[in-house]
Structure 1
Amino acid sequence: MSFITKFWIAYMMDLIFGDPQWFPHPVRLIGKYITFIENRIYKFKSKIFFGGVLTLVVVLTTAITSYYLSKSSQYLEIFLLYTTLATKSLGAEGIKVYKILKSGDLERAQKELSYLVSRDTGEMDEIQVVRSTMETIAENSVDGIIAPMFYAFLGSLIIIDGTSLALPLAMGYKAINTLDSMVGYKNEKYKDFGMISAKIDDLFNFIPARISGLIIIPMATFILGMGIKKPLKIFFRDRKNHSSPNSGHPESVFAGAIGVQFGGRTKYFGKYFEKPTIGDKLKEFQMEDIKKCYKIMFITSLVGIVLFTLLLSLV
């Protein structure tokens, strides 16, 4: 079975099944592994060094294990490739917040959003909840969809002893992304210990973020009839208006397509920060904008897999 066939099956499985909460998802297993190691090495004095040890051990263990699992069965490889994608689950989480807001239960919407973002949600008004939901969908369209696709397709070009590195690279990326989400914070506990995890995550998102912001997401907005000129204008103007070197790339295109302005006053770990703005405030945030984000994210995933398939077929 060709890699392209395998990955399309994995992609369709993601659209159908998503991420069932009852299922022992590999990313959750990676998260437990990170916690297991962290609990044993965080006590050491050299936080940067041992944070680097954590990153190295987790990523290498994940990649090597994935290689042998991939080698053992092509069906297991397909199944695990499916778990690297998050199109349905990301969209479902956003729509869940939308439906709760629609019902008028702001407090419940704040709580639901707190599972998706690291910012403080308890004091958010409706507009802030909508904005934060849209920002996380936009940012995670790279982390949860395009980046694992990119590394899977890239890895498929590298064959070792008859087995491609598609799954090891995709799953290794998920390990890096999980490390960043768990220890990559700039707070007192993790500013040193999580530094290398955060830097590695920035590095591995560098190319996918730019491909997404410049090509894939604008193509999605064009297909949806939202135009391509305005999103690209905001992309070139505002893509660097973010503390992350990568997050501003997808966010700028989403903001430009919908006509809203991301960023502004945001609370993290009890402290307020004034984030740089992204986009022009052509209108105020509305609940229906979450559904627009969902549509862009879904079509982005489709454009991504079609584009990578075409490129791979030319190699």
Structure 2
Amino acid sequence: MNSIWILPASLLLDLGFGDPQGFPHPVRFIGKFARYMEKFTRKFIFSERFAGIITAFSVYSLSFILPWVIIKFSRYIHPFLGELASVFIIYTSIALKDLLDHSKDVYSALRENNLEKARLMVGKIVGRDTANLEEPEIVRAGLESVGESLVDGITAPLFFAALGGPCLAMLYRSINTLDSLFGYKNSAYLKFGWASAKIDDLANYIPARLTAPILCLSSAILGFYPLRSFKILIRDGKKHPSPNSGLCEAALAGALKIQLGGRNYYSGIPSEKPKLGDPDRKLTPNLILDANKIIFLTSIVSSVLFLGLGQATRLVSGAFF
């Protein structure tokens, strides 16, 4: 990715259009292809773990090669068309507008005192049971979702796009999609989804550790609580079962002086998640808007820093190779 304007243009396109309903999004294609490969490999490969590995690397390969072919063909027609294809591919790999819009839907429903609608809205962005949640738990679910999705849906794709261009961004999106589909520790996917979950953890390792301090910085710029954010990041960020998910959630909890985590229910079964942060403030709907401000600025600052990192990497590599 040689043109410095491609990454900012992709982010602006996402902020302007998000993921339009009915749009033939590449992520949906990745999901359908992954399900097809799952059926195929489970049928013909006896080992569940090996079937999962073959499925994962088939999806990863296609997700990298197909954008590469599209960009090469577009450049063959005209170089600028190749750059437009790059913008489009990166745009489809990030989801900042959708994340902000979905959380705003939860906020709006709570401000209308419509708990049923709020439960429905938050149920679209979390995997836990939401039918019986009261207002504070709905707020907590929404905040945990935006905190966790910050890396998966925004900064990690930007990181890989800045360092490796649109093909690497789409490869990352396929890694994250497969973890969402197969990364469950249940009888159906414990072995089959092993590779997908491990590779997702590896792919998110650096982006998560870059994003969390940027979130602390963004909270300072916006006038929240950056020192508390950094303190809770260090103290609680590694409590989460995932090596990456707890970092930004902890930093967000500290920035807002709240506590996230606790008991959730999945298909009626209770699950205790580690508590992140301190309960200095009550969980109220306005916190969703505060979190959105932090998420938005963190995304912008991350894109600038990652773009600079990508340019520096190319300059250094060009000097040696």
Classify the TM-score, shorter chain. Answer: over 0.9
Letter in 2 for 1:41: T
Provide the C-alpha distance between the structure 2 equivalents of 1:47 and 1:291, rounded to a whole number of angstroms: 43
Q: Please say if 1:56 is aligned against 2:57.
A: yes
**Matched-pair identity in %:** 42
Superposed CA offset, 1:48-89 (max 9, x none): 111111111001111011111122222111111111111111
Superposed CA offset, 1:242-286 (max 9, x none): 011101110011000001111101112331011111001101210
> Paired residue for 1:226?
224
> Paired residue for 1:158?
none
| Higher relative helix content | 2
> Paired residue for 2:188?
189
Letter in 1 for 2:176: N
Q: Report if aligned partners of 1:219, 1:303 keep a CA contact under 8 Å in 2.
A: no
Provide the C-alpha distance between the structure 2 equivalents of 1:45 and 1:266, rounded to a whole number of angstroms: 35
> Paired residue for 2:26?
26
Comparing 31-40 and 84-93, the one that deviates more: 31-40
> Paired residue for 1:122?
131
SS in 1 for 2:271: strand
Superposed CA offset, 1:95-139 (max 9, x none): 011111222221222222222112121222211111011001011
Give the Å deviation of 1:302: 0.7
SS in 2 for 1:262: strand
Provide the C-alpha distance between the structure 2 equivalents of 1:87 and 1:32, rounded to a whole number of angstroms: 23
SS in 1 for 2:154: helix
Q: How does 1:162-173 map to 2 (within 5 A)?
A: 166-173=165-172
Q: Report if aligned partners of 2:7, 2:307 keep a CA contact under 8 Å in 1.
A: no
SS in 1 for 2:4: helix
Two-structure CA RMSD over aligned residues (Å): 1.4
Q: Please say if 1:46 is aligned against 2:47.
A: yes
Provide the C-alpha distance between the structure 1 equivalents of 2:31 and 2:181, rounded to a whole number of angstroms: 8
Letter in 2 for 1:144: G
> Paired residue for 1:297?
295
Structure 1: runs of 5+ lacking an equivalent? 156-165
Provide the C-alpha distance between the structure 1 equivalents of 2:203 and 2:2, rounded to a whole number of angstroms: 26
Letter in 2 for 1:273: S
Provide the C-alpha distance between the structure 1 equivalents of 2:287 and 2:225, rounded to a whole number of angstroms: 16
TM-score, with length taken from structure 2: 0.91
Give the Å deviation of 1:228: 1.7
- Rate the CA distance shift 1:184–1:52 in 2: closer, same or farther, 3 A: same
